Amino acid sequence: MDTKTNTKITVLGKTFNSEEERRTYFREELRKKLPELKKMEGFPIGEDEDILKLSDPPYYTACPNPWLNDFIEEWEEEKIELEKQGKRTENFEIEEPYAADVSEGKNNPIYMAHSYHTKVPHPAIMRYILHYTQPGDIIYDGFAGTGMTGVAASMCENPDREFKCNIENLFSNIKWGKRNSICSDLSPYASFIANGYNSVVDSEEFLDKCLSAISSLEEKYDWLYSTQVNNVTAKINYVLWSEILKCKSCGNQQPSWDPNDFDYFQFEKDTQCLNCGSIGKDNFSIVMETYFDEISNIAATKKKYSPVVINYIINGKRGFKKPDLKDLEIIDEVSKIIKEFKTKIAAIAIEKGDKTNELLRDNWSYIHRLFTPRNLIILIELWESLDFERGRMLVTSTLTKTSSILHNVGFKKGKINLAGALPNALYVPGIFAERNLFELHRSKLKDLSFKGVSTRGIVQTSSATNLSTVNNNSIDYIFTDPPFGANLMYSELNSIHEGWLKVKTATKDEAIINRSQNKKQSQYLELMQNSFLEYYRILKPDGWMTVEFSSTKAEIWNIIQTALVRSNFIVASVDALNKGQGTYNSQTNPTSVKQDLIISCYKPSSEFDKKFQQHQSSELAVWDFVEEHLNHLPIHLVLGNSTTAIIERSPKILFDRLIAFYVQRGLPVPIDAGKFQQGLRERFIERDGMFFTNEQVQEYDKKKKDNPEFIQLSLLVSSEQDGVLWLKNFLVDKALTYQDIQPHWMQALAGVRKGDLIPELATILEENFLKDEAGKWYAPDPENEADLEKLRKGRLSRLFEGYKKEIENPRTKIKEVRVEALREGFKQCYQDKDFKTIIAVGDRIPNNLLMEDEVLLQFYDIASSRV
């Protein structure tokens, strides 16, 4: 929106007399670049002119943005000036990862302005940005959705007063100031919303222009939402439509719901024929009707609906009435004039998909059929009249939820509840509401007239699997909230909006699990891995990435972690999204994800890479890695008034990270678990079962004085690994007999993965713990622990040899296994380069174990690439 028409504008070194002149110049430049950009993965589906019209280059392109590196180069130059002004430092370092409550701020005006399937409130993202970056830094989000990362980056310059006060009370040395953002999404609809959020808009001017457009249309079409009450014209608020049913006994047709009592509304569970009295849903069938579709220019069949209730307002009072002959005449008149609008809206077919199949089954096969003719006319007119910055977001914000026939209706305590469309679904209910779109959009306008960003963010439509418009090592920080398996079918849910935009998602690169797209877990893993590989490439060395995880499925949790490791990121912490640390299972066990999580990971520094290359053939490289990793982990966490354990600093998790690091680089692991634990104690300092560098332990000891009580994170046992850790915690203070331990052990046992055989308590004690003369079990000291590890390794190896023998019979499937034995066996096979055995055993164990265990899947994938 042009707010300063007389001010010259300079963009990327070029000066223009107006925003329109700038827009025209860069659109022509984008036109020239389109042939080359079309070769990129994820280029959207649409005509060139529609892509150009939707774009506002160089800030926003409805395709890959060819000016990203130009912006990055300009921002890097601005950093020098910011350093001169003392607003940033040259040697800025992140000492540890940060986790915050991402549920914060969902009721703020910006969050509520425009709905989307998933969205992280920008105040929550600001916490991460303020921790990991300083003014002038460059932030990237390749699964940006509505662009909240961009909003957060800009808002760091002028934060809300209350938010600023809260942050400064919690943290010291906060550097306020604008960060630069690039928001990207595969969906043209998502990037369209992101552009609206990340554009600089004068809220008062925006409000005036929208109100003017609505009022102008209302003068022309007020008759569409008018009804007669006692010979006086009233305004319609909404009309309820009910599907028509046919009685199988007598052939009578009637609405499925047609209330006579306007004082108390309810839906009768049992439908009764008004003609013959037959009762029950099974005695009725849905009536279909044939009509001529003026927009698609074909005869079609659809469910028959009829208006049953009108809610109106007259002299400031609301009331209900049955539709009369005049109301039906208006509906009939609208159906006749709809053909006058066929040149203004394309007949876009709804494509087959996991979510869209229900629409297609009921013959809602074109997007325009999801709107009553009355509302379709108003939406077309509004779309044309709101063609300015953020304007059309007013239409998209209501399009499916409240403007379409997907608008569901509920009843509560005798009142009608205009619930809106079912979230994340495409379904036309048996009763839907047809709203007065003038009143609806006036009401929604209050949400969209928010005061937004003060500096414009950069937005593009592009696949995260190909970020070739961004140079290597050029991004300071990444915040991302990727799709999670089959949680949401974004392209299908966005298809109605993208029909209006005339630019559609290229689904080939959509990272989801979807039957219609023939995408299973393996395809999803590959797409996520390719995306994270690109993230790794563009992120600067020693840079951080924050990944929000929002799924309850164990296999998806494991796939995300596997994709991160395979793309060479190193996970530093996994934290619950609330401010408490949660249980160990909720943080690390793939079968126990019960809440949103934050994964903090980093790209190793250039200095570490050089050092590792020099030492990689010796054991020294192991300790180079451990030191690098310890320097990226939290030092001290507080829960309430107590110091809390940091699981990532435990020897078991450190060893898992080491194995992953070596395996992903195709290197043999030069040390076993026993020697690793012994080396840890020789080179680093242990506190409370955790390991620190010399500098870190001093800080830990100092901070622990203020919070001396120590809390071991509670554990539930759903795997053998959990069981060992649980017992170590349980026996940390005193030795206990088997009889003392057993009742508590049984209480700690949680749901076990199918096919995962947890040994008996006695077996785990014998393999991992020592017994004194009184028959009490206790945790071994470090010297004995290494010896026990050797004995345990031998037992597990013998079990794995047994599994190998079992699969000599080609028909044998191994129904139950000890996962720890598989881990040990796979690791040894990897060391011996016996990749065929890994594949052979992996193909015979329960698939869920392979998909849900990070270590097993990692070895299996590496083996698959080597066979």
**Minimum mean pLDDT among 516-525, 775-784, 817-826: which range?**
775-784
Angle at 504 between CA 151 and CA 501, to 5 degrees: 70
- Portion of the chain with pLDDT greater than 90, in percent: 58
Q: What is the pLDDT of residue 2?
A: 44
Average pLDDT value over all residues in the chain: 88
Phi-psi region of 158 (alpha: psi -120 to 50; beta: other; left: phi over 0): beta
Indicate the domain borders of the chain.
Answer: 21-200+457-565, 225-448, 604-714
**Minimum mean pLDDT among 19-33, 245-259, 369-383, 836-850: which range?**
836-850
Q: What is the pLDDT of residue 691?
A: 95
Of 149, 152, 133, whose CA–CA distance to 141 is shortest?
A: 149
Q: What is the pLDDT of residue 310?
A: 97
Angle between helices 782-806 and 835-842 (to 10 degrees): 70
Q: What is the pLDDT of residue 394?
A: 96
Q: What is the pLDDT of residue 584?
A: 32
Angle at 425 between CA 120 and CA 363, to 5 degrees: 150
Q: Assess whether pLDDT exceeds 80 at residue 3.
A: no
Report pLDDT digits (tens) over 714-771.
Answer: 556 778 887 888 888 888 778 999 888 887 777 677 666 677 888 888 888 988 888 8
Q: Which amino acid is at 809?
A: N
**Hey, what are 213's tokens?**
């457009």
**Hey, what are 455's tokens?**
């500096």
Q: Is the dihedral of CA 425, 428, 430, 434 positive or negative?
A: positive
Report pLDDT digits (tens) over 8-33.
Answer: 999 999 999 999 999 999 999 999 99
Beta bridge partners of 254: 245
Phi-psi region of 666 (alpha: psi -120 to 50; beta: other; left: phi over 0): left
> Burial of 811 by CB count in 10 Å (0-12 exposed, 13-18 middle, 19+ buried)?
exposed
Report pLDDT digits (tens) over 197-235.
Answer: 999 999 999 999 999 999 999 999 999 999 999 999 999
Instruction: Assign 798 to helix, strand or coil.
Output: helix
**Minimum mean pLDDT among 68-72, 536-540, 709-713, 800-804: which range?**
709-713
Q: Assess whether pLDDT exceeds 50 at residue 592.
A: no
The model's confidence at residue 100, banded by pLDDT at 50, 70 and 90, is low
Instruction: Report strand pairing: 60-61 vs 14-16.
Output: unpaired
Q: What is the pLDDT of residue 103?
A: 52
Beta bridge partners of 601: 545, 571
Say which residues have a Cβ less than 8 Å from residue 322's Cβ, sequence separation at least 6: 308, 309, 310
Q: Assess whether pLDDT exceeds 60 at residue 1.
A: no
The model's confidence at residue 536, banded by pLDDT at 50, 70 and 90, is very high
Which of 106-120, 685-699, 727-741, 809-823 is predicted most confidently?
685-699
What would you report as the CA-atom Rg of the chain, rounded to the nearest whole angstrom? 31
Q: Which amino acid is at 866?
A: R
Are 273 and 246 contacting, i.e. CB atoms less than 8 angstroms apart? no
Q: What is the pLDDT of residue 631?
A: 92
Report pLDDT digits (tens) over 787-845.
Answer: 777 778 888 998 999 999 988 888 888 888 888 899 999 999 998 999 999 999 999 99
Average pLDDT over residues 663-681: 85
Of 100, 94, 98, whose CA–CA distance to 122 is shortest?
A: 100
Q: Assess whether pLDDT exceeds 60 at residue 570.
A: yes
Instruction: Report strand pairing: 226-229 vs 232-247.
Output: antiparallel
Higher pLDDT, 360 or 615: 360
Are 629 and 692 contacting, i.e. CB atoms less than 8 angstroms apart? no
Q: What is the pLDDT of residue 711?
A: 67
The model's confidence at residue 76, banded by pLDDT at 50, 70 and 90, is very high
Q: What is the pLDDT of residue 588?
A: 40
Q: What is the DSSP string of 612-663?
A: HHHHTTSTHHHHHHHHHHHTTS-S-EEETTEEE--GGGSHHHHHHHHHHHHH
Q: Which residue has the tokens 């800030």?
A: 59
Higher pLDDT, 325 or 810: 325
**Hey, what are 326's tokens?**
């005049």
> Could you tell me where the DSSP H helices lie in 712-866?
720-730, 738-748, 761-768, 782-806, 819-831, 835-842, 847-852, 854-866
Distance (Å, rounded) from C-alpha 101 to C-alpha 597? 10
Say which residues have a Cβ less than 8 Å from residue 594's Cβ, sequence separation at least 6: 552, 586
Q: Which residue has the tokens 């052990």?
A: 745
The model's confidence at residue 5, banded by pLDDT at 50, 70 and 90, is very low
- Portion of the chain with pLDDT greater than 70, in percent: 93
**Hey, what are 490's tokens?**
């974004």
Cα dihedral 824, 828, 834, 839 in deg (nearest 10): 10
Distance (Å, rounded) from C-alpha 258 to C-alpha 268? 10
Instruction: Please report, for residues 338, 355, 545, 553, the alpha-carbon distance to residue 601 in angstroms, rounded to integers and kept in the order given.
Output: 55, 34, 5, 21
Q: Assess whether pLDDT exceeds 50 at residue 692.
A: yes
Average pLDDT over residues 415-421: 91
Instruction: Please report, for residues 140, 152, 463, the alpha-carbon distance to residue 147 in angstroms, rounded to integers and kept in the order given.
Output: 10, 9, 15
Are 127 and 167 contacting, i.e. CB atoms less than 8 angstroms apart? yes
Phi and psi at residue 62, in whole multiples of 5°? -80, 30
Q: What is the pLDDT of residue 511?
A: 93
Angle at 28 between CA 26 and CA 30, to 5 degrees: 70
Beta bridge partners of 45: 504
Say which residues have a Cβ less than 8 Å from residue 379's Cβ, sequence separation at least 6: 371, 395, 399, 403, 437
Which of 266-280, 520-534, 702-716 is predicted most confidently?
520-534
Phi-psi region of 277 (alpha: psi -120 to 50; beta: other; left: phi over 0): left
Are 243 and 430 contacting, i.e. CB atoms less than 8 angstroms apart? yes
Are 464 and 142 contacting, i.e. CB atoms less than 8 angstroms apart? yes
Count of CA atoms in the C-beta half-sphere (13 A) of 113: 28
Angle at 814 between CA 813 and CA 815, to 5 degrees: 105
Task: Centre a 10 Å sphere on the Cβ of residue 166 and count the other Cβ atoms it contains.
Answer: 15
Distance (Å, rounded) from C-alpha 367 to C-alpha 433? 18
* CATH architecture for the domain at 21-200+457-565: 3-Layer(aba) Sandwich (3.40)
